Each structure stands twice: as C-alpha cells, then as structure tokens.
C-alpha cells in the first residue's frame, strides 16, 4: 500500500510490511507473525572480503572460511531483523498487540521477535490467559497465555480528542448550493483557418496530373513564406534547392513546375507590395471578441500607415470568376481575421484578399461582402487582440 504521511485518520485497516510502515503511526497496531526468523538463504554465498562465491555441497563438507562467512552473514541478517522490530514496536499510538502462531512442530527460537518481547517484558508485564473462542466460534477460535502491560491513559486517543476539540460546524457558504456559472462560450477558441463546414473542391486530378495536391500546397506555402526574405537574385536557386530535397519526393518536372509558379507569383508587379518591408509571413492572431476567443494564423499581412491588408493563400483550388463566387468558407475566414485586426488597428482601413497561386491572381474581397459573412456571434462585439 502506498505510504501516506498525512495526519488524517481513516476508518480502515491497513496491512503493511514493516518496511512500508516506516514513518507512519496508527492508534492500534497488530504484529500477527513474530515467531519466524529470516530465511538463511541458499548454500551459495558471497564472501565479504574479496567478493568471491563460496559454496558447500553438504553440511559436513563446509570449509572454515565458508562457516565464518556464513555466520557473519547470519549476524547481519539478525541485526537487521532486530532493527525492524524496533520500527514495528514504535508504530502504535495507543495499543500494540504482539502475536505469534505455531506450526504442528512448535519451535522456540530465542532470537524471534516473540521471544525477544517475552524476555524483555517478563519482569514488567502481567501474565494473563485469553480465550477468543466465545467470540469467533469453537472451530476458528484461539486461546493461550500472554503478557499484558498497561499504562494509565493520560490523554484522549486522537480520534476522540479531535472530535472533542472540533468546533461546531458553521453554516455552509452560499456558493455550496448555488448553481455554477455557465462555462465560457465557446469552450475552445474559434480557429478561422479550420472553420466548420465542407472544404471546397480542389482542382481536377487531370489538372495536376494525379499528383499529391495537398503536398504541393504545403510546399508552395513554405516557399511563399521563406523566399521573400532572400534577395531577388537568390530566390530561384533557393527554390530549386528546396524542392530537390529527398524529403519532398518530387519528380524533376514537378520541381520545375512548382518553382516556376512560385517565382511567377513573387515577380508579378501587381503583387510586389505583398513581399515588401511592410509585410510579414505566417502572422499569429489571437483576439477576444465579446465572449468568443479567436486564434489563427494569417498567411501574409501588410501593414502601412493608413491600411492593413490580410492575404490568404489558396493553392490547388480552382480560381472563381469573381469575389462573389468565392466559397463561403474562405469568406468567413477572412471576415474573422478582419474583425480581430479591426480592434487592433482602429485608425486604419482593414482589407482582405485571396491570392490564388494558379495564375497567379490576387483577388480583393469587398468589405461589405466580408461583413455579411462574419460569424453571427462575432457581430457587434468589442474585442481585444494581438498580432
């Protein structure tokens, strides 16, 4: 049983070894088996001096060195045996029972706990006879003679003392019976990048030659995040080197196709502002709008003195004809980011756009369209946020 050093009293009987009871106390302690000595162990022992194994085939063939080591080992065993007796005797607070039982061949070991206690208490304790058969029945009862040492009780046992000293209970505070306050809504933050609802269809498998479209999207995102940090002259080489890594398992024609697509996006004059000094990639956004927590990550954020532009990348997705044809899922995502950043940059216009890498094409999303797609519970709420 796990040791418990707490002071609280529990209404239970704990069965423990003496080793396990070290440091613990109980009002009543029973030592049920105190007549057995430690086992002498196998015939093979290890010498203490040079740590060599010693062994005897039979008792009459024991060498003097073996006998000496065997006796020294036995002395050490009995010393530890007596130290454990001291631990056992000092666990009781109010009452201690030292019991022993005999087999069909009674033994009287002078070194047993029972014999040591009897010898130590013989001049102090009072002999008495006991018979437990009337309590448990003739078949299972036990009887015999013992020694009893009684001391006057000068203080109440802990259980009665704690009950006597306990102050009368006060009236329960009101919160005990009051219903708990409602849990925050929602219990989890709203993640705009992973909104509920079905994902829009990807490009036709024929358009990407049956390749892993999702892996392609992750690679393009990674390049669009990292390449703008490099000088213009180094971007193409860095893109080819990254795409050639064995980790991606891309065929040479796939590497060339992706590299050309990404470099075309970065070199497009109408997209130059997205990669300038006022832009950042993968910007985490955390906001509290009313009682709703918003947590997400913006693919590209451009902040100027009078305007904030939120850009979401979309790869391996068919480019819609116009903003009105953009899937609702994407509009809700941009609208949520726009609501959070609107509380941070209150003095600037907040715009949203989607960058379709298949083209490439940057599609601005009108503000009134985003307003209509803001999740309902985010409307008309103040917010605090950080980006």
Same domain, 318 and 240: yes
Beta bridge partners of 28: 95
Q: Are residues 127 and 31 in the same domain?
A: yes
Detail the DSSP E strand segments found in 176-332. 279-289, 292-303, 307-314
- Decide: 179 and 168 in contact? Cβ < 8 Å: no
Percentages helix, strand, coil for the chain, rounded to the nearest 5? 35, 20, 45
Range of 256's domain?
A: 213-386
Q: Cα(213)–Cα(204) distance, rounded to whole angstroms?
A: 10
Same domain, 114 and 241: no
The reply to whether the predicted model has a pTM over 0.95 is no
d(CA 86, CA 88): 5
Pair 255, 379 in one domain: yes
The total domain count for the chain is: 2
User: Number of H helices and number of E strands within the chain?
Assistant: 9, 12
Residue 75 phi/psi, 5-degree rounding, is -60, -40
For 136-195, the pLDDT digits (tens) are: 666 666 677 888 888 888 877 766 666 666 666 678 888 888 998 877 666 566 666 665
Question: Could you tell me if residue 86 is inside a domain?
Answer: yes
Give me the CATH number covering residue 374. 3.90.320.10
The verdict on 236 and 350 lying in the same domain is yes
- Which residue among 121, 146, 161 closes a domain? 161
Is 296 contained in some domain? yes
**CB-CB contact of 341 with 386 (8 Å):** no
Q: pLDDT in tens for each of the 387 residues of the chain?
A: 455 555 555 678 889 889 888 888 888 999 988 888 888 777 787 776 667 788 777 777 778 888 888 888 888 889 999 999 999 999 998 889 998 877 777 666 788 899 999 899 888 889 888 776 776 666 666 677 888 888 888 877 766 666 666 666 678 888 888 998 877 666 566 666 665 555 555 544 444 444 566 677 788 888 888 888 888 889 899 999 999 998 888 889 988 988 988 888 888 888 888 888 888 988 998 877 766 778 888 989 999 999 999 999 887 677 888 888 888 888 888 988 888 898 889 899 999 999 887 767 889 999 899 888 887 655 544 444 445
Same domain, 252 and 357: yes
**Residue where a domain stops, chosen among 161, 182, 200:** 161
**Statement to judge: residues 122 and 233 lie in one domain:** no
Tell whether 341 and 233 lie within a shared domain.
Answer: yes
Q: Are residues 49 and 127 in the same domain?
A: yes
């Amino acid at each position: 049983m796990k040791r418990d050093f707490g002071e609280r009293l529990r209404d239970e009987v704990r069965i423990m070894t003496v080793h396990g009871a070290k440091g613990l106390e109980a009002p009543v302690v029973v030592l049920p088996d105190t007549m057995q000595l430690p086992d002498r162990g196998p015939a093979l022992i290890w010498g203490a001096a040079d740590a060599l194994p010693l062994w005897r085939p039979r008792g009459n063939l024991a060498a003097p060195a073996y006998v000496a080591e065997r006796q020294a080992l036995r002395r050490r065993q009995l010393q530890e045996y007596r130290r454990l007796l001291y631990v056992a005797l000092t666990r009781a607070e109010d009452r201690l029972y030292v019991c022993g039982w005999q087999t069909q061949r009674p033994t009287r070991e002078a070194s047993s706990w029972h014999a040591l206690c009897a010898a130590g208490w013989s001049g102090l304790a009072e002999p008495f006879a006991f018979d437990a058969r009337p309590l448990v029945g003739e078949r299972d009862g036990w009887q015999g003679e013992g020694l009893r040492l009684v001391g006057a009780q000068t203080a109440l046992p802990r259980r009665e003392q704690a009950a006597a000293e306990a102050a009368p209970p006060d009236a329960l505070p009101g919160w005990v019976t009051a219903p708990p306050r409602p849990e925050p809504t929602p219990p989890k933050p709203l993640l705009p990048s992973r909104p509920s609802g079905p994902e829009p269809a990807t490009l036709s498998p024929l358009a990407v030659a049956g390749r892993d479209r999702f892996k392609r999207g992750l690679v393009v995102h990674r390049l669009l995040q990292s390449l703008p940090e490099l000088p213009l002259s180094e971007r193409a080489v860095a893109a080819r080197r990254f795409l050639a890594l064995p980790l991606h398992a891309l065929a040479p024609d796939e590497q060339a196709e992706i590299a050309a697509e990404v470099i075309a996006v970065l070199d497009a004059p109408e997209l130059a502002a997205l990669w300038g000094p006022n832009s950042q990639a993968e910007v985490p956004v955390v906001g509290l709008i009313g009682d709703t927590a918003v947590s997400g990550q913006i693919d590209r954020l451009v902040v100027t003195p009078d305007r904030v532009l939120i850009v979401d990348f979309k790869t391996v997705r068919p480019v819609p004809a116009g903003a009105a044809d953009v899937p609702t899922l994407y509009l809700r995502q941009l609208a949520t980011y726009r609501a959070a950043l609107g509380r941070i940059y209150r003095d600037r216009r907040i715009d949203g756009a989607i960058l379709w890498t298949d083209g490439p094409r940057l599609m601005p999303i009108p503000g009134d369209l985003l307003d209509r797609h803001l999740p309902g519970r985010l409307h008309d709420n103040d917010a605090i946020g950080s980006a």
